């Protein structure tokens, strides 16, 4: 693993529990073995929580054709030598080599305009169930920030996946909370290729906006269109765009952008 950041105390960390975790380190996967450990973590989380239909279900790993073109962020607990969190990152250069972005299988990105030429895509966010206390997520964001700073990238795009195992109740709650902000102040808007009919659901049943999506919004990311339906993962995927210039001041300082 190419180490990027080690864990440190942070007032910006999300609320933590009392779990006793060792020192965390985030870096980039550098070997086939590390990539396989990441793919196994993804399989375990996606298959159990989303009931996802992954391509290599028989081998208990989650992989697709984009993995070879991406950088793979990984958080490791040095106390157990276990991979406990991951993101994959597709830079503009690698996207051109890959023939496009993974997101283009779900969205028409034409609405991004010139932003698309310099877009960094993040996806396949995954954290081990025992480590969802905020620390691993902050480490992943720190690693992503290092990639953005080193490449001098401004725009990051990805999807916030919301499980449909509750028949879309949570997706409807998310849509109700963000729909009025989409396209405000001439913000770009993208269109789903296979729209999930979130507006037809009973949006008044009780549910909470998922923690990861709330975290994106706190960073300064914007939902930039209606959700797409991903039948393989059984999710409604909300398109998210983060421009570093729109990131909150505290987060910009924390991640070293100013």
d(C-alpha 155, C-alpha 84), whole Å? 26
CA dihedral over 190, 194, 200, 201, signed as positive or negative: negative
What is the per-residue burial (b if ≥16 Cβ within 10 Å, else e) of 24-60?
bbbbbbeeeebbebbbbbbbbbbbeebebebeeeeee
Percent of the chain whose predicted confidence (pLDDT) is above 90: 64
Query: 10-19, 117-126, 131-140, 199-208: which range is least confident on average?
Result: 10-19
Prediction pTM value: 0.89
Find the largest Cα–Cα distance for the chain: 48
pLDDT band at residue 7 under the 50/70/90 scheme? low
For the segment 27-67, what is each residue's pLDDT rounded down to a tens digit?
999 999 999 999 999 999 988 777 767 665 567 889 999 99
Mean pLDDT of the chain: 88
* pLDDT digit string, tens, across residues 58-84: 678 899 999 999 999 999 998 899 999
Superfamily of domain 2-254: Gcn5-related N-acetyltransferase (GNAT) (3.40.630.30)
- The domains of the chain are located at 2-254
pLDDT in tens, 160-211: 999 898 889 999 999 999 999 999 888 999 999 999 998 887 667 778 888 8
């Amino acid at each position: 693993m190419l180490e990027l950041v080690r864990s440190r105390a942070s007032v910006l960390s999300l609320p933590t529990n009392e779990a006793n975790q060792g020192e965390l380190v985030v870096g980039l996967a550098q070997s086939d073995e590390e990539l396989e450990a990441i793919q196994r973590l993804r399989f375990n989380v996606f298959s159990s929580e989303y009931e996802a239909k992954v391509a290599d279900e028989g081998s208990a790993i989650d992989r697709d054709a984009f993995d070879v073109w991406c950088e793979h962020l990984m958080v490791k607990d040095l106390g157990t030598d276990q991979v406990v969190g991951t993101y994959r990152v597709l830079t503009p250069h690698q996207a051109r080599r890959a023939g496009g972005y993974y997101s283009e299988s779900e969205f028409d990105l034409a609405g991004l305009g010139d932003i698309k030429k310099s877009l960094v895509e993040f996806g396949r966010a995954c954290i081990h169930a025992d480590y969802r206390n905020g620390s691993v997520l902050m480490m992943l964001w720190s690693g992503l920030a290092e990639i953005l700073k080193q490449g001098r990238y401004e725009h990051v795009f990805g999807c916030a996946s919301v499980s449909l195992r509750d028949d879309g109740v949570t997706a409807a709650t998310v849509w109700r909370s963000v729909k009025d902000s989409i396209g405000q102040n001439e913000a770009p808007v993208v269109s789903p290729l296979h729209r999930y009919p979130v507006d037809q659901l009973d949006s008044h049943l009780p549910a909470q906006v998922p923690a990861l999506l709330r975290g994106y919004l706190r960073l300064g990311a914007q939902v930039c269109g209606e959700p797409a339906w991903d039948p393989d993962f059984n999710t409604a995927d909300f398109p998210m765009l983060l421009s570093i210039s729109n990131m909150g001041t505290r987060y910009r300082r924390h991640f070293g952008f100013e």
